[in-house]
Amino acid sequence: MIHSRNRRLRVNESIRSLVRENILTTDDFVMPIFVMEGENQQEAIPSMPGIFRRSIDLTVKECKELFSLGVKSVNLYMKVSEHLKDNTGKEAWNKDGLMQQTIKAIKDAVPGMIVMPDVALDPYSIYGHDGIIENGKIVNDATNEALARMSVSHAEAGADIVAPSDMMDGRVLAIREALEESGFTDVGILSYSAKYASSFYGPFRSALDSAPKDSMEIPKDKKTYQMDFHNSREALNEVFKDIEEGADIIMIKPGLPYLDIVSKVREAIDLPIAVYNVSGEYAMVKAAAQNGWLDNDKTIIESLTCFKRAGADMIFTYFAKEAAMILNK
């Protein structure tokens, strides 16, 4: 005779929901947003169905809709005009730049929206790298100075949290000290602590034209600063250093292929953990759903719930708006 029957707690939806360990809500989502120059402009991103580059006015409109759906955080990326790019990234801290104007416009229109601008030089670089290049190499410390200036500029524009995604050594400390010295003691740092050199970023780079340029004079990829995907213990080393330097939230990127890293970091730290459901993951689900191979809505909710189960507190995802609509049904 069987005394212990696990199926007793799966008999119907009411029982299953009663004992459910992880619940997905709109509070978990951060929506990445691409911004472009112009007015009343919107461009579809072919590799990411349903995702667009928008001018500031349409970005504000989108943020209002997101907030009404319960998505209260956005992560901003700029499509920078070619004539503004150089090797210093100086446009990144232009007080009248596209990023700064966007932050101000969103905070004015939707004060409750948490605005997290991306902090990295690749959209502003003529080389498509996250750092300044000297003698064919990405230099670390000079890049940190640029990232600190960029972060202060974002804070001055009204950013709630800055999100350095560059993977330079020591940049969290440089940014933290610059923010403190400038009086922005309440501005948080969400650090991309374990960001891997991944093939899953392709659609994102096409959206911003931020892929490394093909040249014999510079590195052809980002493997000298982003992490080797063969490694897991290294992620903990990166996380602990960023915490020591003043990070408030830890990011792991990519997401679904790296749930083991999310789980390992969750066991090791008490700080909030963010995970990035990246563009390649989004594109794969969308392509399969459009071909009828997967159920779009069910796959979205299942995959996002997996991040919560692994230990993430927040999810950066291009599905945020769509998932909110599904959850709100």
Q: Is 133 helix (H, G, I), strand (E, B) or coil?
A: strand
Q: Which residue type is seen at 181?
A: E
Active-site entry in 85, 107, 195, 286 = 195
Neighbouring CB atoms inside 10 A of 210's CB total 23
The Cα 237–Cα 233 span in angstroms is 7
Measured CA to CA, the distance from residue 227 to residue 238 in angstroms comes to: 9
Give kind and range of the element (H or E) at residue 234. Answer: helix 233-245
At 239, which helix (H) or strand (E)?
helix 233-245
Query: What is the distance of C-alpha 199 from the center of its chain?
Result: 16
Question: Which residues does 287 contact at the CB level (< 8 Å), separation at least 6?
Answer: none
- Pairwise CA distance, residues 280 & 292, whole Å: 18
CB 275 within 8 A of CB 262: yes
Residue in 85, 253, 286, 321 annotated catalytic: 253
- Residue 216 makes CB contacts below 8 A (sequence gap 6+) with none
Active site residue 220: no
Radius of gyration of the chain (CA): 20
User: What is the maximum span of the chain, computed from C-alpha positions, in angstroms?
Assistant: 77
- CA 200/CA 317 separation, integer angstroms: 13
Scan for tokens 């905070």, then name that residue.
107
Q: For residues 242 and 166, what is the distance between their CA atoms, to the nearest angstrom?
A: 13
264 is catalytic: no
Query: Which residue, 45, 66, 41, is CA-closest to 56?
Result: 41
Catalytic residues: 195, 253
